[in-house]
Each structure stands twice: as structure tokens, then as C-alpha cells.
Structure 1
Amino acid sequence: MHTSSTEPRAIVVVCHGGTRSARSQHEVDTQRALAGQLALLLHASDCVEFDSERSYPPQRYFVPDDTLPLETARRLGIASDDDLFGGVVPYPFVGTKVVVHGLPPGAQVKPEGWQDSLGERVSELVLPGFSAFTRDDAHTAAALLLRNGPVRLKRPSGIGGAGQAVIADRRELDTQLNGIGDATLMTEGIVLERNLREITTFSVGEVRVRGHHASYYGVQRLTQNNHGHAVYGGSGLVVVRGTLDALQRTDMPGEARAAVQCAREFDDAIRSAFPGFIASRRNYDVASGVDENGHAYRGVLEQSWRIGGASGAEIGALRAFENDPALTVVRASTVELYGEDVDVPANAGIIYQGVDAHSGRVTKFFTVEPGPRTRGARE
């Protein structure tokens, strides 16, 4: 979809300042690079850093580094999902992991806007778990979950596995809670949920950049960073032109289809619970695995309504669909690698390649290739 010479051209505006990440330099540079890819997709006249002293034309398109609270979106003039790559939530907690679970029985504290009915509605779509905002509530939740094995504690805004710990007893829980602090716990909350092993994490998503629309499923992979830790290493996606309706009409493996349905029902529940919620980028991590006792589970781990690890593949797929109107499905991948000896395919789009002060040498790229013929891929 090309902009005619008579139509005003968009200007892409990069916004920093979200609370989710530590904002390593490679993350900042990655956000800028992806904003540049969006500018190409939109045939924008410019891609600039946000300046609070500057006024922007009506065609501006924001690329924030985090899900935006409603008051921030209003201040920026964001009125619909046509105005940003990401999402807007009516209450801050909605944009974090705590929205995935309900509260434990007899919970003492809940944040403004909390919907108890949401936890009940999604209980079969997520892993066994609870969100908690006080030490006592965390102990109640842990006591219920620890009956069946180790529990995973998750800070609400961690990315790529950061801010998580596996606990086996009350002592280990208290160690984690002491590190968080009661004031932060009451403000942000934590998640406690069944810890799985032999886990496969699916990515399911839908992305719309004004007139460009795609949806996808795929599997995440891990890699080893320069400190020897297992971290997010990218995603391999099958991307179709159109909405999740179009995606569900395609042929896919049974496990992937189950993950897509799980994510879609969770997405429907969020939109029903929070009418003020909007998002042009909706991504859900859906895990399949077994617990300590060998019981199998499947459920949404978390949501991402902001620019994320799979966004290079998402935007690359949208650009491929724009360049070839007959194309209905592609295979798109994002790859994140650490260290010196890294092979980058000749057809890759490099998002970041450099030495970060904290992470060391990092290389990030995406690839897009025509996908297999599939039934009913076009919307």
C-alpha cells in the first residue's frame, strides 16, 4: 500500500522511558532500527526521537518501548491502534504479567481496576497460579502451589526470563520477597505459578500497522549469552496475511493450533474485561510442558502489547506482503546471538550488531522467505 504524492506522509516517532527493561544500549538501538523498518513500511517522511517540546503532525506514528498507560497515550494524542506500534491499557497492571492470573483466596490487596472475573474466565487458559500484592497473599498462593512441586516466581515486568526464580519452600520465597521489598510488592505485585520442565513456548500474535495486517504462530528458541546464561534467542514464525481468523483457517500442527486457540481466547477475555484496551501489536507466549509430577499443562505465560523480540520478523513479513500482493504466507524468523563467531545469512536484515556495555557482543537479525502453500491463508 503506497502513499500517493498528494496524501500527507507519516512521521515515525520513537519513544523511550518504559518500565519493563533496564534499557541496555542494544535494546535502545534495536528499538530505533525497528522503528526505521516501520518507517519504510509506512513510506514515512522521517523517523525521529520523541521531543516533548515539539508538536507532531496528525499523521505521526509512535513506537514506544513499553505498553502505554491511558493517560500517557492521551497526552501524546494516541486515539486508536492506527497511532502506534504497541498497546494502550486503562490501568498500569494490565500491561504486566500480573494480569494473567487471579488473586489467591482471601486476598488482602488488589490494584485499582482489578477484575476478579477475569481470573475466573482465564483460569483454564493459563498455568495454575496466582498474582499477589502483599507478603501474606504471596505466602497463601505459594502454600497452595507448593503442594504439587516447585513454583516459579516472576516479577511483573521482566523480559526474556529476567526477574524470575524457582522456589521450593517458604524460606526461598521469603528470600525473594525480601529482595523485592514490601512497597514494590504492593505497587507492582508478583506472579507465582506452576513450574514446568520439558517446556515448548509458542509465540502467537497479530499485528496491524495501519492498512497492513498479519497474524502468526511459531516457536521460541533459547541461546547462551556472553555470561553463560540461557536467554531468548529468537522465534521462527509462520506468518499469514490477515487476522487470526485467517491464521486459524490454515493448516498447522495440532500443538500449534491448540496454542493459537488458547491465545485467542485469552485475548478475547482481556478485551472484554478492559474496554479501554487497544493494541496494534498483540503477542502471546503459550507454554506446553510437564510439572515435577509429570502432569501436562498448556497455558498463556504472558502477553506483549509493545515492540518485542519477534517484531523484526513481524515487520519483515508485512513488508514482504506489501511488496508482493499475491503472497499470502511467509516463514519469518528473528535471531539473537552472542559472541564473536556469528554467521549472518546473506538475505538477513540486521537489526543490531555491536558491543553492548553490559551484554557484550550481540547480533540480532531477521529473515523472511515465502512460506508453504496453505489452505485458506487469504482473509
Structure 2
Amino acid sequence: MPRSREPHAAVVLLDTREHTPDHEHATHLKLVERLAHLLGIAHVQPEQPPVATDHYYYVPTETLIEPQRYQPLGIQGERDLFGGMVSHPYMATKAISHPLLANGSFPPGWTDAFAQQASDALLKGYTVFSKDDARRAAQLLLPEGAVRIKPVQATAGRGQQVIEQLEQLEPLLADMDEQALALWGLVLEENLEDVETFSVGQVRVAGLTCSYHGSQRLTHDHQGTEVYGGSDLVVVRGDYHALLQLPLEDTVRLAVNQAMAYEHAAEQHFPGFFASRRNYDIARGLDPHNHLRSGVLEQSWRLGGASSAEILALQAFADDPALQRVNASSHEVFGMPELPADATLFYQGNDSELGHFSKYARIREHDHSE
């Protein structure tokens, strides 16, 4: 019998990053506890190494790369983890959201078929894997307006720069490592103004599936910088088609359909891809010609800022089989506020990097209507 079909002994955090901030590690452990409760099994501390004879349910901190590396742990499909698996590094990043230049360099496993199939769900731009290709891409895009330069491994918009002239690209390229660029890539994308960012996603755990649409909130850190502050989600029991049964605004319906097209292209063209946690950021804004544009910015096939809300929603559906829809939200607050009465706390403390910081999630507005 394949190991993926054996009962899981416990839930364990699988931290594959070189460094995890204090608040994130504490939050991840709380999510592990919540998932263990949902699955009806124990959870073990990551300091306890997995035993070869045990079959764990894993909670990776990143999208896992190269399935053969993790098969000895029993990770063979989406039933074995909260997150996802891809076969090549670039597939785990926003690099997939744009095609290559003609005759552009590319890493092992690259396929143009994904961007071709998902083209209606993408913004205008290119993914490059060399500095020369970055210059060529900028020359093609800049005549149409400002260009956003996006390091593919950065999250929450960090490290992004907007250029209006080709000379502005050189200082950015000077700081980039050629080998890292060749492996992971860099995105150059049309810059939108007055941007609204939608979240669309789906989680599948313990025989339950729920799907959602929502939006992100911004907040200010202790230095006054605008950063991610949480997500507000409308979550339904079932797949994306159940989500489309809601009376959605046209902009939200478009975002859901674009996320579905993006995901379908990944399933078609990325061999070895599977995920139990799927989240997509879709941007809607004005291009330099004042035309409305909408497209998927990136995917997240791993733990994310909305995962606390996702897991609370899953638990609500597990507890009440008649429940069809909930509003769930995640919150990241700089400081030590008094929490709402219905808040589930995931972290509150003095983080060594962020200072006083709080993370919690809420479930509201239960809907039992079919």
C-alpha cells in the first residue's frame, strides 16, 4: 500500500527556510495545532525528527521543490501536506506569471505553454533569467509606460521598484547575483495605478474543500512603512464553481475566473504539481493609457497570511455540516491591541525583528442557506 494512503501519525511543521522570524515560527506552530485538531490526530514539535516508520501530515513553510526529495517522508500527494509541490524552482514563484522573450535564456524545466494557455489571466510583462534579457524586456515595455521590476522570491510587494527610463534599471541589476537570477528569474511587468488586489483561493484538508474570494488590507509597521495587514475572505463550502454561485460583482467574478484559468494551466503544464492550499493574488488597476487591466500577479502554494482564516473556516465547516458560507479574516497589527471577543490569537509579543506585533483571525456571519 502506498505510504500516502496510510493513516497519518501526527502533524509536523516542515521548516525549509534558512531563517524564519519569531512571529512566523510561533504562528506556524499554532496552525499546526489547528490542523491536527481538524484532522483528529496529534501534533509533534519540529525538533523531534520524523521517524521513518511514521507517516506524518506535513505543514511546509515554502512550496516544496523536486518531489523525489520528499517521497522518503511519504509526501506523495495533496493528502500529505498543507501546501504544495512543484518539480522546478521557478514554478514556486511569480516567475510563471509571464512568458519569456523570444530567444531568451531559461532554466531547466521551463515551458512557454503555461503562459500561452493562461494569457487571458495575465498582465503584460516578461520573465527573464539574465541581465541582458532584463535590458531587452525593459526596452520593449518602457515605450508603453512605467515598468515594475519584481524580484520573484520577495513577498508582500517587498523589493519591487518602478522604472520610467532604461537607465534606472542598471543600478537594480548591479545588485543582482547572476547565478540566482539564472535559477529563479526576475519579472518585468506593466505598472498599474489605483490598484485593487483580490485574493482567490481554495484549501482541501480532511475530506473538506472550501473556496474563497477576498481582499487584502494594508497597515503601517513601526517605521511607518505600508505593509500587509491581513485578508478579508468570503468562504464557501465546495470548489470554485460553488464560489461562482454567489452574487458576485463583475470585477470579483473576473478575478475568480482568472485564478481558475491560471490554476488549470499549472495543472496542465507543470508535471508533478499538486497542492492542498492554493491562493492567488489578482490585481485590477489602470494602465498608462487609463485602461482597466486585471491579471493574476502570483500564486501561493504554501502557508500564507490568510491561512489562519482558511483553517478557522475549515473547522467551522467541519463542526457544522449544514454551514455553507462564512466570512473569515486574518489580522496583522503592529502593537499590542485589545483583541475582539471573537478573535483566535495566533501570535502576540515583542518580535525581535518587528517589535510589538499581533496576529489573529476571526469567523463571522455564518450562512446556512443552500
Shared fold by TM > 0.5? yes
Q: Trace 1:288-299 onto structure 2 (pairs within 5 A).
A: 288-299=284-295
**Whole-Å Cα distance in 2 between the matches of residues 50 and 92 of structure 1?**
26
Q: Trace 1:258-273 onto structure 2 (pairs within 5 A).
A: 258-273=254-269
Q: 1:92 aligns with which of 85, 89, 94?
A: 89
Q: Which runs of 5+ in 2 are unaligned?
A: 1-5
**Whole-Å Cα distance in 1 between the matches of residues 17 and 166 of structure 2?**
32
Amino acid at match of 1:356: D
Q: Which runs of 5+ in 1 are unaligned?
A: 1-6
**Whole-Å Cα distance in 2 between the matches of residues 146 and 277 of structure 1?**
34
**Whole-Å Cα distance in 1 between the matches of residues 95 and 17 of structure 2?**
17
2:344 corresponds to 1:349:
yes
Q: Is the 8 A contact 2:222 2:354 kept in 1?
A: yes
Q: 1:164 aligns with which of 160, 164, 174?
A: 160
Instruction: Give the equivalent residue in structure 2 for 1:3.
Output: none
Q: Is the 8 A contact 1:18 1:64 kept in 2?
A: no
> For each residue in 1:227-266, what CA deviation from the matched residue of structure 2 results, as whole angstroms up to 9, or x when unmatched?
2111111110000011112112222222111100000011
Instruction: Give the equivalent residue in structure 1 for 2:197.
Output: 201
The CA deviation at 1:50 is 5.7
Instruction: Give the equivalent residue in structure 2 for 1:4.
Output: none
Given the two structures, how large is their TM-score scaled by the length of structure 1?
0.92
Q: 1:370 aligns with which of 341, 357, 365?
A: 365
**Whole-Å Cα distance in 2 between the matches of residues 50 and 270 of structure 1?**
34
| RMSD, aligned α-carbons | 1.7
**Whole-Å Cα distance in 2 between the matches of residues 218 and 28 of structure 1?**
25
2:248 corresponds to 1:283:
no
> For each residue in 1:157-203, what CA deviation from the matched residue of structure 2 results, as whole angstroms up to 9, or x when unmatched?
11111221112222221111111122221122101101111111110
> For each residue in 1:17-74, what CA deviation from the matched residue of structure 2 results, as whole angstroms up to 9, or x when unmatched?
237xx5221112111111111111112122321655633523x200010000123322
Number of residue pairs matched by the alignment: 364
Q: Is the 8 A contact 1:85 1:280 kept in 2?
A: yes
Given the two structures, how large is their TM-score scaled by the length of structure 2?
0.94
Q: What's the secondary structure of 1:250's corresponding residue?
A: coil
The CA deviation at 1:373 is 6.4
2:314 corresponds to 1:318:
yes
> For each residue in 1:113-151, what CA deviation from the matched residue of structure 2 results, as whole angstroms up to 9, or x when unmatched?
111122222222111011000111001111111112211
**Whole-Å Cα distance in 1 between the matches of residues 150 and 7 of structure 2?**
45
Q: 2:61 aligns with which of 54, 60, 65?
A: 65
Instruction: Give the equivalent residue in structure 1 for 2:121.
Output: 125
Q: Extract structure 1 runs of 4+ deviating beyond 6 A.
A: none
Instruction: Give the equivalent residue in structure 1 for 2:13.
Output: 14
Q: Trace 1:41-190 onto structure 2 (pairs within 5 A).
A: 41-49=38-46, 51-52=48-49, 54-55=51-52, 57-58=54-55, 60-69=56-65, 70-107=67-104, 109-190=105-186
Amino acid at match of 2:16: G
Amino acid at match of 1:271: E
Residue 179 and residue 321 in structure 1: after superposition, are their counterparts in 2 closer, same or farther (change >3 A)? same
**Whole-Å Cα distance in 2 between the matches of residues 39 and 258 of structure 1?**
35
**Whole-Å Cα distance in 2 between the matches of residues 214 and 276 of structure 1?**
23
Q: Is the 8 A contact 2:211 2:243 kept in 1?
A: yes
The CA deviation at 1:371 is 3.9
Residue 9 and residue 83 in structure 1: after superposition, are their counterparts in 2 closer, same or farther (change >3 A)? closer
Q: Is the 8 A contact 1:221 1:234 kept in 2?
A: yes
2:354 corresponds to 1:359:
yes
2:37 corresponds to 1:35:
no
**Whole-Å Cα distance in 1 between the matches of residues 266 and 253 of structure 2?**
20
**Whole-Å Cα distance in 1 between the matches of residues 149 and 79 of structure 2?**
36
> For each residue in 1:271-323, what CA deviation from the matched residue of structure 2 results, as whole angstroms up to 9, or x when unmatched?
00013100000100011011233121100000000010000110000000111
**Whole-Å Cα distance in 2 between the matches of residues 325 and 265 of structure 1?**
30
Q: Is the 8 A contact 1:348 1:365 kept in 2?
A: yes
Q: What's the secondary structure of 2:312's corresponding residue?
A: helix
